[in-house]
Amino acid sequence: MGGFSSKLVRVVRLVNGSVYPAVFQSPRYHVILRGSHAVQQRGENFWVSRAKAIELLSNEGLRYKLITILRIFGPRFPMSNSSQDVGVLALFSIKAMAVIDDLLILVRATDQAGDTHQRIIYCLLGADRRPREPTVA
């Protein structure tokens, strides 16, 4: 996991619960920073691209790949129920969890029957933000 102690990292995974593979579409992101209590209406600018989400996090002093990681899942990315290691959507360090209140990921996938399924993943909702060790390895 790129220099993170497993005890100090929040890992967010997406698992296909079906026995049949699905095709993952490009996700969209919504960053909510700690102390940001402004209610943002869902609209055109609510969901942003991966690049924009990384830019927003970088503007808060979070260095990508050292503090937080948003995995690349492009259009037509296949996901089976046996691809749990591939299904890591994001990683967060303690520092990232101190700055980010939540990161929402809008996920869409199409199954073999052609049905599209959509979920919103709240990456840090209910996260234990207390470090177990004094430093990140």
Helices assigned H by DSSP within 38-121 = 50-59, 94-99
Q: What is the pLDDT of residues 37-87, one digit of tens each?
A: 555 666 667 899 888 998 988 888 887 766 566 666 555 566 655 555 567
User: What pTM value is reported for the model?
Assistant: 0.77
Alpha-carbon Rg for the chain in angstroms: 15
CA dist., res. 132 & res. 113, Å (int): 45
Residue 104: per-residue pLDDT: 93
Residue 63, both tokens: 């260095």
Residue 44: per-residue pLDDT: 67
Q: What is the pLDDT of residues 15-43, one digit of tens each?
A: 777 777 788 777 889 999 888 655 566 66
CA dist., res. 121 & res. 137, Å (int): 27
Q: b/e map of 6-41 (b: 16 or more CB within 10 Å)?
A: eebbbebebebeeeebbebbebbbbbebeeeeeeee
Q: Model confidence at 1, in pLDDT bands (50, 70, 90)?
A: very low
Q: Residue ranges per domain, the chain?
A: 6-122
